[in-house]
Structure 1
Amino acid sequence: MNNAMMYQNSRRKENCDTWRVGIYCRLSKDDELNGESASISNQRDILTNYCNSQGWQIVGVFQDDGYTGLNTERPDLQRLLQACEKGLVNLVITKDQSRLGRNHVQTGYLMEEFFPKHGVRYVALYDNVDTYAGDNEIAPFKNVLNEMYSRDISKKVHASYHLQATKGKFTGVVPPLGYLKDPDEKGHLLIDEETAPIVRKIFQWAVDGRGINYISRELERQKVPCPSWWHRKRGNRTYYTKWEQKDPENGKYVWDESYLKDLLRNPVYCGDMASQKRYYRFKIGSQGDKAPDEWITVEDTHEPIISRDTFELVQAKIRSRKRQNTTGEYSIFAGLLRCAECGGALTIRKTNSKDPREIYTCSTYIHKGKAHCSQHRVDADDLYDAVLSKIRECARIAVGGCEDMEERVRELCCEDELDHRDSIEKLAAKQKDRLESLDRLIARLYDDLISEKISEATFDKMLEKTQKEQSEIKQELVKNQKLLDAEEKLDAQSQQWAEDIGSYTDITELDANILNRLISKIVISEPQDDGSNNSHAVEMEIHFNLSPIPELGTIERGSSSIRYF
């Protein structure tokens, strides 16, 4: 038995009533390769028996089964850390350090900062690590070795996935809608006769020229459950969509458009296996989608749900449905318009009247109907005129440097805020002066100690007190400096915004480049029926790039005029 364990045993009787233990167990898929010795039940039994032998009180057992140790985003680990913060747990024990984590930075933070800060003792039983004993010099090196081990395992696992992908094997966790995993052949898919008809119906709608919006709404109208419902039924997932959370009874019938787009583009339904669709980086995970020509695709690996001709026909129809305006160009407001109610984009379309006009409408309303959002309709010409007028107005204010600009400054920084900034600057100056004084005081203490004017005990006491004050002042100074830096950045952004927009005082036309240079987003709200003559005016909020506050206004429907607040 090593010194740490001997020390621990010698203190057991003295502390058996004080240690409130949180047992933590973790098992990832990589660890399953080690067999039963690494299992959750094995870890739990070993640690429970050890705590009982020490006479410690077990507050709870926290276990994350199937979670990687490369980050701390694990549900039961977070519950354990919260218990530590609340003082419910003051001793955390794991079988070894790798159970706590394999990311040496995050694990080191927990062991060296988080646990000591909250008065929590940490024991890694099989690694002979006990922070109560204080003999843990080897612990940081173990954290690094644990991460190196995880990196090596990650390379091997992804090499194995890549090899399986080239053989046309399914390497995902959840099979695509319409398929089941073959219980007799690993990596092979079988048709799911219960959900395959849904897939065939979706492709048939696409062949008939129906768009994603129609398909989504028709599935909802026919009360066809969405994929997450089927995954829960099969025991594959426990996830609920935002629509299911919002409306538990009917939300399961709402299909996500992006899912439908991916489904219609997935060659798995014509019998081909496409894998390695996303970029991956160690410790970070997936980093974006690859282009289809970068996928690993193997043809005829399983029974198709639809014919190859049907799949190719749908791909051609998808490519042909890309929308443009009458001049063959995309809307200059593309990507800028947002619905104030649901946050969705506003998309352009034409009215069905005798004299068709271009209007912008909430995409959620178009896709899912009025049950999920309202129309938020804006006439394209009215919006164009309103934004053009607001840009001119802001440009004239920026260039004029007159009373209007002073009013803007007062809106951004009232007198109280300016006084507050001045007080922070004065306080920061005093804090810097005090730190310099403390540095000189510490130098004098060393001189007095060397010349034996003060005893070593007095020196240690005064040094500790002085350094504590230094640490507190430095923390406060950092906070104050961040506040000042943020305000300076705001001033610089405001100045840059004034310079950018100032050149547009006489602008007569808008284009996409101008809009994207000046504006980050335009939020459109439905009109409020307040009984006035202006109840049909659509409210808009223009967020300029670098501008500290949004510009507010209303758009009169059908009049190409604007009224500002």
Structure 2
Amino acid sequence: MTLRAVIYARYSSDLQSTSSIEDQIRLCRERASRAGWQIVGSYEDAATSGASLMRPGIQRLQQDARERRFDIVLSEALDRLSRNQADIAALYQNLTFAGVAIETLAEGRIDEMHIGLKGTMNALFLKDLAAKTRRGLRGRVEAGKSGGGNAYGYTVLRHMGEDGEIRRGDRKINEDEAAIVRRIFTAYADGMSPNRIADQLNREGIPGPRAGKWDKSTIHGNPKRGTGVLNNEIYVGRLVWNRQSFVKDPATGKRQARPNPESEWIVTDVPELRIIDQALWDRVKTRQEGRKIEQTDREAWERRKPRFLLTGLVKCGCCGGGFSTIGKDRLGCSNSRNKGTSVCTNRTGITRQELEGRILTILSERLMDPELVKVFVAEYIAERNRLAAGHVDDRAVKQKELAKVIKDQDILVNALLAGTPPERIKAKMEQLETRQKQLERELATAPAPAALTRIHPRMADNWQERIRALIAGLTEPDREGEAREAIRGLIEKIVATPVPTKGKRMSLDLTLHGDLAGILALSLNADRLSGQQKTSCEQEVEESAGFLVAGARNQRYLRLVERQIPKLAAKCNLF
């Protein structure tokens, strides 16, 4: 039987050539051709570190492996798949469970010994590389050069040294940007707020540090961590490095910053890079100290405030940015407040109480229309029946072919007994035996036809009861946290768009985008608050709800339902 192979290729840095991917794939194709394997696909991750599995290519590979779309993964070397010891072990276990082997050009067929030894070697390589990189950066900083990245107001130089080597890391003052830095310091020292400074810069079309819009946090930053324009000591000729270190969260693969003690900071005087005179710097620091006293009450309230039911779920309908607190119990567009009206003109706010009340009303009273639910149920059952019939048909075809293979083997046995020379039927018999084993494996691993979940047409009534029970739980201390999380789980996002009212005042139009799988699970008897083990019926209901929104293969069904119940889609934007 011809093995179905896929190729995985990766390179780590933007500085590497994109042809690296093509070279890896070409070498792997040559290896597959020599082995007689059929290449059925390839997966690539360009300019992506191998220290984490949070890569789109490797994630798609694992998903397709679970669906048994290939038999072997071919790569240039094991470190192309991952350099993390735990990740490569987990990847090997997942692929082995799916019946997929790994082979590399460097190591050959991968087994447990390769995972242990190479995984350890790759992990040590990453640790050693990090230590050497950090040591090199420290040497550059102590020499007054850039330790990575660049501050606004400077240009990093790259030039040829006397010895013919390319020199990197030297900086010079960018006079155009330096003028903006002086303007920011002067405006702040004269009493202007960071928000107003950012708004003015954005109105004048002056690009921010990363060529984007200015934000008030870009200006005021965090004085303790030295972030923000107003806190960067390089503007007074002091280069401070190693204020913080980064540690990767093993659960998410993302780096988190952690402050280092001041004793570990590396401070180098670079007077030639001074932009701000000492008197102006001191005026800014004096005002910052004074504002700490002014903000004490607000910061205390921020620490005490309870978690908002819809925190992080509200988006601005004008710019797409988030809504945040603009006053006690009042929310507004973050971009409009932080970056100015040149970025977003939505200055309409809404109280927390009004926002929660309107959203809970949509969930409890406007979400489920009994007449539309009947159409929904009919379409759901029809689609499940169609897919179930397809699974049954495929299984029946394989069973029929298996019966024919066994029958053909019996014919060959009878021919052998009748005196036919064995060498004439040996090859055919081996082919039939191989096909028989393959069919038996596929039938053994194929899921049995699933029973159709019966959705009662009164699911709307059931929804009303359950959502009202959740809302009631918000007022009960022992259930408030659980009810809040359950309700948040039903909402994907809320879009708040300003609209004029009769009195020429602006109000916010709220559009609820719901999580269809969560809404169906709750309305189909999957109780999110029970805390008990799900029954087989409830488990099937949740799987059915997941099936409804499982991705591209169900888009036909979603479009069909959307046509049948347009009023529901218009009310809730579920699709």
Quick check: 2:406–2:436 contact (8 Å CA) kept in 1? no
Residue 336 of structure 1: aligned partner: 313
Helix, strand or coil at the partner of 2:255:
strand
Shift of residue 337 of structure 1? 2.2
Asked whether the 8 Å contact 1:165–1:296 carries over to 2, the reply is: no
DSSP 3-state at the match of 1:225 = coil
Identity across the alignment (%): 15
Match of 1:214 in 2: 196
Deviates more, 1:504-513 or 1:170-179: 504-513
Q: Partners of 1:312 and 1:364 in 2: how far apart?
A: 26
In the TM superposition, what is the alpha-carbon distance from 1:176 to its structure 2 partner? 1.7
Moved more, 219-228 or 138-147: 138-147
Match of residue 497, structure 2, among 516, 526, 546: 526
Per-residue CA deviation, residues 358-416 of structure 1 (Å, 9 max, x unaligned), is 85432223344455434162442xx6246326536755899xxxxx67457447x3412
Q: Is the 8 A contact 1:281 1:287 kept in 2?
A: yes
TM-score using structure 1 length: 0.52
Question: Is 1:362 paired with 2:333?
Answer: yes
1:345 paired residue number:
322
1:178 pairs with 2:137 = no
Correspondence 1:461 to 2:431? yes
Classify 1:25/1:429 alpha carbon distance in 2 versus 1 (closer, same or farther; 3 Å).
Answer: closer
Structure 1 equivalent of residue 255 of structure 2: 287
| Structure 2 CA distance for partners of 1:29 and 1:418, relative to 1, 3 Å | closer
The alpha-carbon deviation at position 535 of structure 1 amounts to 11
Q: Is the 8 A contact 1:181 1:189 kept in 2?
A: yes
Deviation sequence 1:339-363 (CA, Å, 0-9, x none): 133221224447xxxxxx9854322
User: What secondary structure sits across from 1:279 in the alignment?
Assistant: strand
**Which of 384, 387, 396 is the equivalent residue of 2:356?**
387
Alpha-carbon spacing, 1:501–1:313, altered in 2? closer, same or farther (3 Å): farther
Are 1:278 and 1:286, in contact at CA under 8 Å, matched by a contact in 2?
no
- Give the corresponding residue for 1:541: 511
Q: CA deviation at 1:287?
A: 1.6
In structure 2, do the counterparts of structure 1 residues 549 and 66 end up closer, same or farther at CA, with 3 Å as the change threshold?
closer
Counterpart residue type for residue 336 of structure 2? Y
Matching residue of 1:195: 177
For the 8 Å contact 2:198–2:214, the answer to whether it is kept is yes
Give the partner amino acid of 1:198.
Answer: I
Please report how far the alpha carbon of residue 225 of structure 1 lies from its aligned counterpart in structure 2 after TM superposition: 3.2
Structure 2 residue 241 is matched with structure 1 residue 263 = no
Unaligned runs of 5+ in 2: 1-8, 31-44, 57-74, 96-102, 162-166, 222-226, 523-570
Report if aligned partners of 1:523, 1:542 keep a CA contact under 8 Å in 2.
yes
Q: How far apart, CA to CA, are the structure 2 residues paired with 1:522 and 1:29?
A: 34
**TM-aligned CA distance change 1:175 to 1:429, over 3 Å:** same
Quick check: 1:207–1:317 contact (8 Å CA) kept in 2? Answer: no
Question: How far apart, in 2, do the equivalents of 1:323 and 1:541 lie?
Answer: 34
SS in 2 for 1:547: helix
Structure 2 Cα separation of the partners of residues 522 and 282 of structure 1? 26
In structure 1, what is the Cα distance between the partners aligned to 2:148 and 2:248? 19
Q: Which residue of 2 aligns with 1:84?
A: none
Equivalent position of 2:529 in the other structure: none
Matches within 5 A, 1:437-452: none
Query: 2:270: which partner in 1?
Result: 302
Q: How many residues align?
A: 427
Cα deviation, residue 201, structure 1:
2.9
CA distance in structure 1 between the partners assigned to 2:234 and 2:348 by the alignment: 39
Query: Residue 129 of structure 2 aligns with which residue?
Result: 157
C-alpha offsets along residues 397-439 of structure 1, whole Å, 9 cap, x if unaligned? 99xxxxx67457447x341222211333454456567767777
Question: In structure 2, do the counterparts of structure 1 residues 497 and 534 end up closer, same or farther at CA, with 3 Å as the change threshold?
Answer: farther
The offset of 1:540, in angstroms, is: 1.0
Pick closer, same or farther for the CA change 1:305–1:537 going to 2, 3 Å: closer
| Structure 1 unaligned blocks of 5 or more | 1-23, 32-37, 52-63, 76-93, 114-121, 130-135, 230-240, 242-253, 351-356, 399-403, 551-563
Q: CA deviation at 1:219?
A: 1.8
Q: Distance in 1 between matches of 2:199 and 2:300?
A: 27
Relative distance call for 1:532 and 1:313 in structure 2 (3 A) is closer
Listed one character per residue, the Cα deviations across residues 418-477 of structure 1 (whole Å, up to 9, x for unaligned) are 221133345445656776777788788889888967943333333455566678879986
Structure 2: distance between partners of 1:394 and 1:25: 46
Rate the CA distance shift 1:103–1:360 in 2: closer, same or farther, 3 A. Answer: closer
How much has 1:74 moved relative to structure 2? 11
Q: How far apart are residue 281 of structure 1 and its match?
A: 4.6
Are the structure 2 counterparts of residues 280 and 371 from structure 1 closer, same or farther at C-alpha, using a change threshold of 3 Å?
same
Structure 2 counterpart of 1:387, one-letter code: E
Distance (Å, rounded) in 2 between the aligned partners of 1:164 and 1:385: 56
Separation in 1, partners of 2:397, 2:325: 62
The aligned amino acid for 1:418 is: I
Structure 2 vs 1, CA of residues 275 and 498 (structure 1 numbering), >3 Å: closer, same or farther? farther
